[in-house]
Amino acid sequence: MTNNMFFIANWKMFGDIKSVNSIKKVINFSKNKKYKKAQIIYCPPYTLISKLLRLVKNSKIKIGAQNCHYSQTPGPFTGSINTDLIKSCGAKYVIIGHSENRALGDTNNIINLKIKSALKKKLKVIFCIGETLKEKRKKKTNLILSSQIKYGLKNIKKNNNIIFAYEPVWSIGTGIIPKINNLEKQVSDIKKMINKVWKLKKPRIIYGGSVNSNNITELKKISSIKGFLVGGASQNSKNFIDIIKKTIN
Ligand code: PEP
């Protein structure tokens, strides 16, 4: 991976076969040399991955999945998709550890298995970490984040194929973002936590949680943040393009 700024669209369980065409605007936009530093990655629902891959074929936009099963081998896991299947359809990234999946039962241990499986298949990982509002109120943020990092990366050798996405759970889908000073300090703490496990000089840390075309002007001031994971605002091409334009100007 290079020194690009990442703009990762997490469509969650939204989008249908027709809405996929709306990304044609983003494909055209991505060809503008002015924005060559923007590394755009779309993570649609599994069912739309192939269609999106065909659309982005002659562009620099990459496609990722939103989750994966932990099993590295095929097996009796009805309704699940593992990294082998993701890789074989042509996607290059996978989101692992999203709080919406942690809430459904993904423990740090399961997340660790998923990351191992993804790296083995040479998929790049968007590794989400974040504290809940309750944890934040109890001043447990650093405790939670450091254990998510420590156990998520357990027995995984240092590598450059992981993007760390800091997503405070209380910010996702709420319209609330952290105060800029607090966020800057939190990213610096996260850097130290990663360093404790891996001694990575420059871990790629991105931010996610209610990013939109209004608050991006504030968020982009934090130079240690190397991109954004965008949920709701990524479903509208114009909004997503505005976020990229305002970040890189
Ligand atoms: C997300 O779910 O990863 C996310 C960042 O969502 P939103 O932008 O809608 O808060």
- The minimum-distance atom of ligand 1 relative to the CA of 232 is 9
Are 247 and 223 a contacting pair, CB within 8 Å?
no
What letter would DSSP give residue 4?
Answer: P
Res. 214: pLDDT tops 80: yes
Q: Residues 13-19: what's their mean pLDDT?
A: 90
**Domain containing residue 47:** 5-248
Q: Residues 54-66: what's their mean pLDDT?
A: 97
Question: What pLDDT, on a 0 to 100 scale, did the predictor assign at position 1?
Answer: 43
Percentage of the residues of the chain whose pLDDT score is greater than 90: 94
Question: What pLDDT, on a 0 to 100 scale, did the predictor assign at position 19?
Answer: 84
Residue 234: pLDDT band with limits 50, 70, 90:
very high
Q: Residues 181-193: what's their mean pLDDT?
A: 98
For the whole model, what pTM was predicted?
A: 0.97
Residue 211 Cβ inside 6 Å of ligand 1? The answer reads yes
Q: Which of 170, 31, 49 is nearest to 103 (CA)?
A: 170
CATH no. for residue 217?
Answer: 3.20.20.70
Q: Which of 22, 2, 25, 1 is nearest to 11 (CA)?
A: 22
Count: domains in the chain: 1
Question: What pLDDT, on a 0 to 100 scale, did the predictor assign at position 149?
Answer: 98
Residue 172 Cβ inside 6 Å of ligand 1? The answer reads yes
Question: What pLDDT, on a 0 to 100 scale, did the predictor assign at position 17?
Answer: 87
- Which of 149 and 200 is assigned the larger pLDDT? 149
Res. 132: pLDDT tops 90: yes
Are 167 and 129 a contacting pair, CB within 8 Å?
yes
Query: Where do the DSSP E strands lie in 85-203?
Result: 93-96, 124-129, 162-166
pLDDT tens track for 120-130:
999 999 999 99
- CB environment 31-62: b (16+ within 10 A), e (fewer): eeeebeebbbbbbbebebbebbbebbeebebb
- The answer to whether residue 98 is catalytic is yes
Give the distance (Å) from ligand 1 centre to CA of residue 231. Answer: 4
To test the ligand 1 pocket, which listed residue (6, 10, 235) has its Cβ within 8 A of the most ligand atoms?
10
- The answer to whether residue 167 is catalytic is yes
Are 91 and 65 a contacting pair, CB within 8 Å?
yes
Per mean pLDDT, which range of 187-191, 197-201, 243-247 is the poorest? 197-201
Q: Residues 140-147: what's their mean pLDDT?
A: 98
Q: From atom 2 of ligand 1, which residue's Cα is the shortest distance away?
A: 231
Residue 167 Cβ inside 6 Å of ligand 1? The answer reads yes
Residue 230 Cβ inside 6 Å of ligand 1? The answer reads yes
Question: What pLDDT, on a 0 to 100 scale, did the predictor assign at position 237?
Answer: 96
pLDDT tens track for 31-58:
999 999 999 999 999 999 999 999 999 9
Res. 210: pLDDT tops 50: yes
- The minimum-distance atom of ligand 1 relative to the CA of 98 is 3
- The single residue listed with the structure tokens 């939103």 is 66
Question: What pLDDT, on a 0 to 100 scale, did the predictor assign at position 242?
Answer: 98
Measured distance CA(64)–CA(13) in Å, rounded = 14
